[in-house]
Amino acid sequence: MIGVGDSSYDTFNFAAKNIISLLQTKGATLLLPQLEIDVLGEDLPEDTAEQWLPNLLQAWKSV
């Protein structure tokens, strides 16, 4: 799960965290820890996500 948000809000990445929680209550297992992207600290959030994606692909291969 990739969550993108603004850390100046108290609900930073709240939607992504809620989706993870809901999926886990339904029996899902996380392949990787959630990636939380803060738009205040990232020049290009897309670059951070692209760097994370190879890890996800590798995790899928090992399932």
The pLDDT, as a whole number, for residue 38 is: 95
What domain range is 56 assigned to? Answer: 2-61
Number of domains in the chain: 1
Judge whether 49 and 35 are in contact, CB under 8 Å: yes
Q: What is the CATH number of the domain that holds 50?
A: 3.40.50.360
Judge whether 41 and 12 are in contact, CB under 8 Å: no
Q: What is this structure's pTM?
A: 0.80
Q: Binning pLDDT at 50, 70 and 90, where does residue 63 land?
A: confident
pLDDT digits (tens, 9 = 90+) for 6-53: 999 999 999 999 999 999 999 999 999 999 999 998 789 999 999 999
CB-neighbour burial class of residue 52 (10 A; exposed 0-12, middle 13-18, buried 19+): middle
The pLDDT, as a whole number, for residue 36 is: 95
**22, two tokens:** 């809901």
Q: Where are the strands (E) in 1-63, listed by range? A: 2-5, 35-38
